[in-house]
Amino acid sequence: MVEGSHQNLAARFFEKVGRICVSALEEMGRHGVMIGESFHWLFLGPGMNQPVRLGAVFTEMMEIGVRAIGIIGIMAAAIGAMLAIQGIYSLKIFGAEGHVVVGVAFSMVREFAPLITGILVAGRSGSALSARLGTMKINQELDALEVMGINPVRFLVVPSLLASLVMVPVLTFMSMVLGLYAAALYVNTALGMSMAAFFDQTIDVLSVDDLIHGLSKAAIFGVLFALIGVLNGFLVKGGAEGVGKATTRSVVQCISAIVVTDMLFALVATL
Amino acid sequence: MSDTEKPNAKNVIEVRGLVTHYGTRQILNGVDVDINEGEIMVIMGGSGSGKSTFLRHLMALQRPTSGVIKILGQDVWKLPQKKLFELRKKLGVTFQGGALFSSMTVGENIMLPLYEHTKLDRLTMQIMARMKLEVVDLAGFEDLMPSELSGGMVKRAAEARAVIMDPRILFFDEPSAGLDPVVSSQLDDLILRLRDAMGMTICVVTHELESAFKIADRITVLDKGSILFTGTVEELRNHPSDRIQNLLNRRSEEAEIDADEYLRRLTGDKEEAEGMPR
Ligand SMILES: Nc1ncnc2c1ncn2[C@@H]1O[C@H](COP(=O)(O)OP(=O)(O)O)[C@@H](O)[C@H]1O
Ligand SMILES: [Mg+2]
């Protein structure tokens, strides 16, 4: 009897693990299909009289990028200052405060700028994308588009994807600059190092590779969050409640995806 | 070309053996329907009988499990994607809730198909949109957002959008749902006017008998995923079948609930309701 229930438990456990694996694979498959479809419309759409509208891309860039400048700028500056404060505090132990620039420059450009930008954009626009597409789905607006002969992927998804592919790296670059600037200000007051000296040292220690590392990560984050936002929106079922669930799911998935990708990227890049 | 050109000039939509499922649940079990050029075909049936699902198939929005759907003589699921887009430009739809794009004004909603499919200049598009708004008595409301319209106005604006490309076939899902009798009667008049003025073929889904009798040239009654009746209004009125007479006289059908179905409902044996394939 006891044996039986144990077996039962094990079976159920493995069944559950199996289910989760299958649904995760399915989800990845859907992302793959969505990327494929997006490329299809981007390149073959014009031939079918279904071009991707530049106007729509710019609108999305405005929404994803320009409107986020304020908050991302503030966060990046705060993180830059925090890195400087923390750096000086710990380097003081070895009497090596002067080397703070190295630590700040590397961590800001390679890690923190893409990460904080990615997370903020995901929270702002990933959820908005899911909510918007989900609402359109339950209001049958997606069907209406389809019947009008307007492909929803071409009309709604590709512009968001392109906009975030461009805007997340741009915002990340802005974060790098602002973060370093805030750090320089703090170092200037704390150690009396001039701003010029700070930036000279920064440029000395950083290579183009570091910059590319940070920006390409940002581009990947951009694609990831657009895909996750869009897919959760498209898969909404069951009314307003479904939209709410999709939005939450989308933010959680975006941030997890960004953090995990970041870790993998760091692992591969430092091998 | 012989296959893609209309073989029968009168037959605008031809459905044969349409079977469809949501997940494992069968919704339509082999439906055959013909819709002729210039007629108003009304599809009736109780709530949940599969009317909206059937309509989605007629618009090539959903791929059936099996069966053939020919629109304007073309087998829609055998068409290459590009041809399907071309075909869809000849269809217009008003969905149950109107489905206006909430981020655009009424005018932009109506102009969207023109903007996407034609190379007209903006002024011409605006004039065309105004003309269609005139037809649905909404002239002057171009600059409002859909959220600022009443239910009946949303439906009418959606109709204006549906006819902006002068489609060959027009579909309506529940035009009178959620509207008061006066407004829904106005919508019926509008549907009749569209057919008479533009010679469109119109397919209306409804569960309102009164409205159906007023506008229909022919009626198809769907019941539990099968066709119970197809014919003219007169034929329907004089039909000998009890089941149809019950339906017409709104007699309760509770006695007819299938014992199996009832038991299944009590024991809560729900099949997985899967999302539809895109
Ligand atoms: N997307 C869907 N997924 C699963 N089941 C659905 C879906 N849409 C409709 N159904 C089910 O199919 C049946 C027919 O629905 P529908 O075509 O909307 O009926 P009607 O329009 O006649 O009220 C209903 O039982 C409904 O629950
Ligand atoms: Mg319905």
> Is residue A181 in some structural domain?
yes
Distances (CA, A) of A163 to A10, A224, B29, B97: 47, 12, 45, 31
Give the integer Cα–Cα distance in Å for B49 and A27. Answer: 32
| Predicted local distance difference test score (pLDDT) of residue B1 | 40
Overall number of domains in chain A: 1
CA A75 / ligand 1 centre spacing (Å):
47
B57 Cβ inside 6 Å of ligand 1? no
> Is residue A78 in some structural domain?
yes
Using the beta-carbon criterion (under 8 Å), do B95 and A143 form an inter-chain contact?
Answer: yes
Which of A1-5, A246-250, B37-41 is predicted least confidently?
Answer: A1-5
B110 Cβ inside 6 Å of ligand 1? no
In one-letter notation, the amino acid at residue A73 is G
Instruction: Give yes or no for residue B253 having a pLDDT over 60.
Output: no
Instruction: Tell me the nearest-neighbour CA distance from B56 into chain A, angstroms.
Output: 9
CA B51 / ligand 1 centre spacing (Å):
8
Can you read off the two tokens belonging to residue A267? 């692992």
ipTM: 0.80
List, for residues A77-130, the tens digit of each pLDDT value. Answer: 999 999 999 999 888 888 887 788 888 999 999 989 999 999 999 988 889 999
- The arithmetic mean of pLDDT across residues B166-189, rounded, is 86
B107 Cβ inside 6 Å of ligand 1? no
Q: Which residue of B has its CA nearest to A238?
A: B275
Q: Which residue of A has its CA nearest to B161?
A: A148
| Predicted local distance difference test score (pLDDT) of residue A26 | 82
> Is residue A6 in some structural domain?
no
B247 Cβ inside 6 Å of ligand 1? no
Instruction: Give yes or no for residue A142 having a pLDDT over 80.
Output: yes
> Is residue A46 in some structural domain?
no
List, for residues A198-252, the tens digit of each pLDDT value. Answer: 898 888 888 898 999 999 999 999 999 899 999 999 989 888 899 999 999 999 9
**Quick one: pLDDT band at residue B273, thresholds 50, 70, 90?**
very low
> Is residue A5 in some structural domain?
no
CA B69 / ligand 1 centre spacing (Å):
19
| Predicted local distance difference test score (pLDDT) of residue B60 | 87
Residues 74-113 of B with CB under 8 A from A: 81-82, 85-86, 88-89, 91-93, 95-97, 99-103, 112-113
Helix axes A208-234, A239-269, angle to 10 degrees: 160
Instruction: Give yes or no for residue A50 having a pLDDT over 70.
Output: yes
Among protein residues, the one whose CA lies closest to atom 25 of ligand 1: B48
SS3 for B124-171, per residue?
HHHHHHHHHHHHCCCCCCCCCCHHHCCHHHHHHHHHHHHHCCCCCEEE
Cβ neighbours of A30 (radius 10 Å): 15
Q: Which domain holds residue B134?
A: 101-166
- Mean pLDDT of all residues in chain B? 83
**Quick one: pLDDT band at residue A7, thresholds 50, 70, 90?**
confident
Overall number of domains in chain B: 1
Among protein residues, the one whose CA lies closest to atom 24 of ligand 1: B48
| Predicted local distance difference test score (pLDDT) of residue B202 | 93
> Is residue B77 in some structural domain?
no
Whether A208 and A103 have beta carbons less than 8 Å apart is answered as no
Give the integer Cα–Cα distance in Å for B129 and B134. Answer: 9
CA B70 / ligand 1 centre spacing (Å):
23
| Predicted local distance difference test score (pLDDT) of residue B8 | 46
Q: Could you tell me the pTM of the whole model?
A: 0.81
> Is residue A9 in some structural domain?
no
> Is residue B118 in some structural domain?
yes
Instruction: Give yes or no for residue B255 having a pLDDT over 90.
Output: no
Can you read off the two tokens belonging to residue A66? 């320009």
Query: Cβ contacts (< 8 Å) between B100 and chain A: which residues?
Result: 141
Q: Which domain holds residue A115?
A: 54-269
Whether A195 and A187 have beta carbons less than 8 Å apart is answered as no
> Is residue A160 in some structural domain?
yes
DSSP per-residue string spanning chain A: -HHHHHHHHHHHHHHHHHHHHHHHHHHHHHHHHHHHHHHHHHHHGGGGT-PPPHHHHHHHHHHHTGGGHHHHHHHHHHHHHHHHHHHHHHHGGGT-GGGHHHHHHHIIIIIIHHHHHHHHHIIIIIHHHHHHHHHHHHTTHHHHHHHTT--HIIIIIHHHHHHHHHHHHHHHHHHHHHHHHHHHHHHHHHH---HHHHHHHHHHH--HHHHHHHHHHHHHHHHHHHHHHHHHHHT--SHHHHHHHHHHHHHHHHHHHHHHHHHHHHHHHT-
> Is residue A121 in some structural domain?
yes
Using the beta-carbon criterion (under 8 Å), do B101 and A146 form an inter-chain contact?
Answer: no
Query: Cβ contacts (< 8 Å) between A48 and chain B: which residues?
Result: 81-82, 85
